[in-house]
Amino acid sequence: MSQPEGCVVSGQENKVCKLLKSLYGLKQAPKQWHEKSNQVLISDGFSSIEVDKCVYTKCVNNECVIISLYVDDMLIFGICIDILIRTKSFLALKFDMKDMGEASVILGVKIIRKDDSIILSQEHYVEKLLRKFGHYDSKSVTTPYDANSHLKKNKGDPVDQTQYAQIIGSLQHLMNFSHPDIAYAVGRLSRYTHNRNQDHWEALARVMKYLRYHELWY
Amino acid sequence: MNYGIEYSGFPAVLEGYNDANWISDSDETKSTSGYVFTLGGGAVMWRSSKQSIIARSTMESEFIALELAGSEAEWLRNLLANIPLEIKPTPSVSMHSDCKSAIAVAKNKLFNGKNTHIQLRHNVVKQLLKDGTILVDYVRSEVNLADPLTKPLGRKIICDTSREMGLKATRN
């Protein structure tokens, strides 16, 4: 254990700080956070379910609360309002927490409530994506992938690799959360991320144009 | 307007669709598996992935997809059983496949093939069927929601399957 380069205090070269609390960004921080949140929830009578450790449930007198946890984003479900309020005030005691009220956005997905249905939409994300990569004004197409484009491995030099990877990353996020319809196209195109050429670029542009098609509906 | 997945809450049963393509494109030697699970009128889980092993026939590739979707169905069913919801007890998840030969092989208790890697998957599916975790039945290709997750398709099918998966534009 030694002082980091550039921060050496002369005369006290052998002294180092002892870390009392794990900090944000530390390698051990995720584990520490999990242990803390887990312990707090269990102390309130919650138990995590067998198949997914991030889902906690608690039942009191046939009234149930479900908590789904994504790192530090939390959704609390329940039918009975009293027990929900009790849960929230308990958690507010233990954590520095912000109550966002009725959930409207979770992990970048908008939750829209209708009379008898719920819609999960990422429309704003699509718009941001199209604007960022300059496809907002392009013509639209009705299918995400052209059956006649026989994509092959690129034997030559890669073209504009960084941007391709960026778009693939954004599209994968979109596909995972709210767009099963582009799953095949995205899966297929991500096979060529390391070495792509003009053909792949065109196929990728087609996916963007397909997303534009749904934008145009309004 | 908002374009997104709409869940109306009906029908409140989990249904699975799975499909595979077998060498649809020139220099691909491996097939693609795809599956979709719907619950409450919208898709809740989907995947399109390149298979890890080479399938020798359409049946084999469809079978690999069935096994992949089957194990996912088992997890989803356990998840639903673990959450205190109104729907109980959880019935078997019906898996829709558009390949009659793969269904026949799945329902056959004996495995006649020679490939160990397919036999392994056969055992998994056999076990899932025996436990009552999944049921396998046949749907036509045109109404198989997992179809667009495995191959490029035309406008009409893309449109129809998207709607069935709950994807629609709704006015605010």
| pLDDT, tens digit, 9 for 90 and up, residues B69-106 | 999 999 998 888 888 776 666 788 899 999 898 888 88
- In chain A, what residues touch B151 (CB-CB under 8 Å)? 147, 184
Q: Report the C-alpha gap between A49 and A34 in whole angstroms.
A: 15
Beta carbons of A147 and B34 less than 8 Å apart: no
**Residue type at B47 in one-letter notation:** R
Helix or strand (DSSP H, E) at B81: helix B58-82
Q: Comparing C-alpha atoms, which of A25, A49, A48 is closest to residue A35?
A: A48
| C-beta atoms of B82 and A123 within 8 A | no
Three-class DSSP category at B33:
strand
Q: Is B98 helix (H, G, I), strand (E, B) or coil?
A: coil
pLDDT score, position B33:
92
E-assigned strand segments in A104-174: 105-106, 109-113, 118-121
Mean pLDDT of B33-51: 92
Query: Closest to B25 (Cβ–Cβ): which among A120, A150, A214?
Result: A150
Which of the residue ranges A98-102, A141-145, B25-29 would you say has the lowest mean pLDDT? B25-29
User: Torsion-angle region of residue B96: left (phi > 0), alpha (psi -120 to 50) or beta?
Assistant: beta
- Sign for the CA dihedral angle at A16, A20, A26, A32 comes to positive
Of the candidates B17, B23, B169, B145, the one whose C-alpha atom is nearest the C-alpha of residue A213 is B169
Once rounded to an integer, what is the mean pLDDT over residues A159-188?
88
User: How far does chain B reach from its first CA to its final CA, in angstroms?
Assistant: 6
Mean pLDDT value across chain A: 85
Query: β-strands A118-121, A109-113: how paired?
Result: antiparallel
Cβ of B2 within 8 Å of Cβ of A146? The answer is: no
3-class SS shares of chain B: helix, strand, coil, % to 5: 40, 25, 35
The verdict on pTM exceeding 0.90 is: no
Q: Which of B 41-100 lie inside 8 A of A, CB atoms? A: 41-43, 46-50, 75, 78-79, 82-84
Residue with the two structure tokens 């006290």: A12
B59 and B105 Cβ atoms separated by less than 8 Å: yes
| Interval A74-122: pLDDT, tens | 888 888 888 888 888 888 888 888 888 888 888 888 898 888 888 898 8
Cβ distance of A218 and B169 shorter than 8 Å: yes
| B169/A contact by beta carbon, under 8 A | yes
State yes or no: pLDDT of B143 exceeds 60: yes
Q: Write the DSSP symbol of residue B142.
A: G
pLDDT of B149 above 80: yes
Distance to chain B for A170, nearest Cα, Å? 17
Whether A144 and chain B come into contact, CB under 8 Å, resolves to yes
Asked if B2's CB is within 8 angstroms of A119's CB, the reply is yes
